Chain A
Amino acid sequence: MSNNNETMPANINKKFIHVIKSVFQKAFIIMKKELMSYYSTPIAYIVITVFLVVTGWFFFSTFFIFNQAELREFFKLLPIIFSFIIPAVTMRLFAEEKHTGSFEIIMTLPVSLTDVVVGKLFAGIVFTASMLAPTLIYIVSIAIVGSPDAGPMVGGYFGAVLLGGAFSSIGILASSITKNQIIAFIIGMIFCLILTLIDKFLFFLPASLLNFAEYLSADYHFKNFAKGIIDLRDLIYFVSVMAIGVLGTVQILEERR
């Protein structure tokens, strides 16, 4: 009896890992394929280059003026830059498949729609991370000239990946409603910009409503991360945006069958 009690938790743990693995196994295959498509074409490198040039310019143009060893300016602009860059990365994910007809291929394989959407979202997140990776060199350059605070940087990068995931899910949702990649890009960009700027547009609202607008704002939640505060509420916000994006996409694609 006692023996049984000891092995139970381990068993459940193993089972849990197994379930997670089998749930995401197909999503990971889809992710791998999408990443392969990204990096085998010039799109990825062009997007990364544009991102690095833009952020690098904004970062260093003020870096020496403020004379502070921090990445605050970089993170401040990140939501706006992501609003343009991420929809450009995700616009092809479903629009292209629908345009070429390969959507029929994926939909007739034994893989669920949720797996496909989640796989594509993972690809978006990994791509965001790989886009951010070269900016780690800023930390090195800051460390040379001063002694930066680790908290805001760790939080900032963690938040940036979450932000990228949330915007990817919006971009994927936009990509699922049209065959045209340009339209997918514009719709995705508009929604990302709304989420970024909503609390700034609505400054004339009474304080109670403004709080609500603030809660919807991706920028507000991201700022908390960039301050080095990892709050469960902010985490929940980004995960919810991703979940809504995934569920919405599945719903739309299911509806059109």
Chain B
Amino acid sequence: MISVTDLSKNYGEVRAVNNISFTIKTGEITGLLGPNGAGKSTTLRMLTCYLKPTSGRICVGDYYADEDPDGVRSIIGYLPESAPIYGDMIVYDYLDYIRSIRGIEKSRIKEIADICGLNEMMHKNVSDLSKGYKQRVGLAHAMISDPDILILDEPTSGLDPNQIIEIRKLIKEIGKEKTVILSTHILSEVEATCDRVIIIDKGEIVADNRTAELKASQGTASKISIKAANVDFDSLSSALRNIKGVKDVARGDDKELTSAVILAAADEEIRPEIFKMLSDKGWPLYEMVKETRSLENVFRELTKGGNDE
């Protein structure tokens, strides 16, 4: 459905997107994930033919972006970042305007207003709407032509938690038949909605995988943190190191209890051994947590944005 080859974009001297390539199949919900300024919006803007790539090629459906941008635009519905909509129009007029440019039946306005929950707001000026409603108008704008491809730049920004859940549900619903690409820096959003995630950092793709696989693939060690009482860290540490499978023990931070972070081989389950050792020594165990690798860890590792853990 969408294929991108060796795409680059320079803003003057700065290279915002550097040689990225990917293909997206019909019916996939793809999340474009990356820290601020990674090149997500630039990539989406090139896909929608708003920006011209410095080099590289984009093919959307049957159209090449450099040959027939209008063709590409006609099958894409696009929600730009922070939905910059004409403020001096009422919602109905705005949707009517988009509808007439796209050449769609008038009855579609009512339909899309129902879907996006805009019925009450149709006769209000866009500039008087709250951010959440503006975002909904933006979504209505993107979906009014019932496009094959939906590109959403930070679709849930500015919405309240209930609206976020609603929008995610809506995206998932649309994603059953249509191709959806959304950009975000919110990790839980990708985990909740996307089949596939492309992580971008400094204009380059650092990971491109199914959401589930990406979570599983990274790292070979698992982390277990424990908290125990009546023991100092050194004796706890040396006792732990005697257990088979423990690779390293580090000091954890807790004021009252003795805490340790154990690095163990990923394929071995050593928690029963740890528990047995502690109860044999008579050190009461308060807490034992095995850290599952969330997308957040993967993300921080790949983009080196966070502290090294």
Chain A interface residues (CB < 8 Å from chain B): 26, 29-30, 32-33, 36-37, 40-41, 100-102, 104-105, 107-112, 257
The answer to whether residues A104 and B89 also contact, given A29-B101, A110-B70 and a CB cut-off of 8 A, is no
Instruction: For chain B, residues 94 to 110, give those with C-beta under 8 angstroms from any C-beta of chain A.
Output: 97-98, 100-102
Q: Say which one of B76-84, B172-180, B253-261, B297-305 lies at the interface with A.
A: B76-84
Q: Is B141 an interface residue (CB 8 A)?
A: yes
Evaluate contact between A36 and B80: CB separation under 8 angstroms. Answer: no
Secondary structure of the A side of the interface?
helix
Bound complex: CA of A196 vs CA of B251, how far in Å?
Answer: 81
5 smallest CB-CB distances across A and B, nearest first, come from A101-B84, A110-B74, A110-B73, A108-B48, A257-B52
> Could you tell me the distance in whole angstroms from the C-beta of A4 to the nearest C-beta in chain B?
33
Residues of chain B from 208 to 263 with CB closer than 8 A to chain A in the complex:
none
Is A111 touching B84 in the complex (CB atoms < 8 A)? no
Complex CA distance for A61 and B100, rounded to whole angstroms: 48
Q: Are A257 and B50 in contact (CB under 8 A)?
A: yes
CB contacts (< 8 Å) of B93 on chain A: these are 36
B50 and A110 form a contact (CB under 8 A)? no
A-side contacts of B160, CB under 8 Å: none
A212 to chain B minimum Cβ distance, whole angstroms, is 38
A104 engages B86 (CB within 8 Å): no
Residue pair A111, B101 in contact (C-beta under 8 Å): yes
Q: Which residues of B contact A107 (CB under 8 A)?
A: 49-50
Contact A110 B102 (CB under 8 A): yes
Q: CB-CB contacts of B12-55 with A at 8 A, as 1s and 0s?
A: 00000000000000000000000000000000010011111000
* Closest residue on chain B to residue A104 by CB atoms: B80
Interchain CB contact under 8 A, B82 and A101: yes
Chain B: which residue is nearest A111 at the CB level? Answer: B101
Q: Are A109 and B88 in contact (CB under 8 A)?
A: no
| Chain B residue nearest in CB terms to A107 | B50
B151 CB to closest chain A CB (Å) equals 9
Tell which of B71, B76, B141 touches A105, judged by Cβ atoms closer than 8 Å. Answer: B141
Query: In the complex, are the beta carbons of A108 and B80 less than 8 A apart?
Result: yes
A and B contact pairs by CB, cutoff 8 A, 7 listed: A26-B101, A29-B100, A36-B93, A37-B86, A101-B82, A110-B71, A110-B74
Bound-state Cα–Cα, A110 to B74, Å: 5
Closest to B151 in A: A108
Is B306 interfacial (CB-CB < 8 Å)? no
Q: Is B87 an interface residue (CB 8 A)?
A: yes
Assembly CA distance A45 to B44 (angstroms) = 40
Given contact pairs A101-B80, A105-B141, enumerate 4 new A-B contacts (beta carbons under 8 Å). Answer: A101-B84, A105-B86, A110-B102, A257-B52
Report the bound CA distance from A146 to B148 in whole Å: 67
- Bound Cα distance from A111 to B87, whole angstroms: 21
Which of A33, A110, A112 interacts with B97 by CB under 8 Å?
A33
The minimal Cβ–Cβ distance linking A195 to chain B, given in whole angstroms, is: 30
A104 with B101: CB separation less than 8 A? no
Contact indicator per residue, chain B 103-128, by CB within 8 Å of chain A (1) or not (0): 00000000000000000000000000
Closest residue of A by beta carbon distance from B46: A257
A36-B93, A101-B82, A102-B86 known; A108 vs B49 contact (CB < 8 Å): yes
- Closest Cβ of chain B to A229, distance in Å, is 41
A110 / chain B contacts, CB cutoff of 8 Å: 70-71, 73-74, 101-102
Residues A108 and B97 in contact, CB atoms below 8 Å apart: no
User: Nearest Cβ in chain A — how far from B294, in angstroms?
Assistant: 33
Residue in A36, A105, A112, A257 whose beta carbon sits within 8 Å of that of B84 in the complex: A105
Say yes or no for B59: interface residue by CB 8 A criterion: no
B102 contacts A105, C-beta separation under 8 Å: no
Q: Which residue of B lies closest to A255 (CB)?
A: B52
The reply to whether A41 and B88 form a contact with Cβ atoms under 8 Å apart is: yes
Chain A residues near B76: list those with CB within 8 A: 108
Q: How far is B93's CA from A128's CA once the two chains are assembled, in angstroms?
A: 24
Distance between Cα atoms of A66 and B248 in the complex (Å): 104
Taken together as a complex, chains A and B put the C-alpha atoms of A108 and B86 apart, in Å, by: 14
Indicate if the CB atoms of A104 and B45 lie closer than 8 Å.
Answer: yes
B288 at the interface (CB under 8 A from A): no
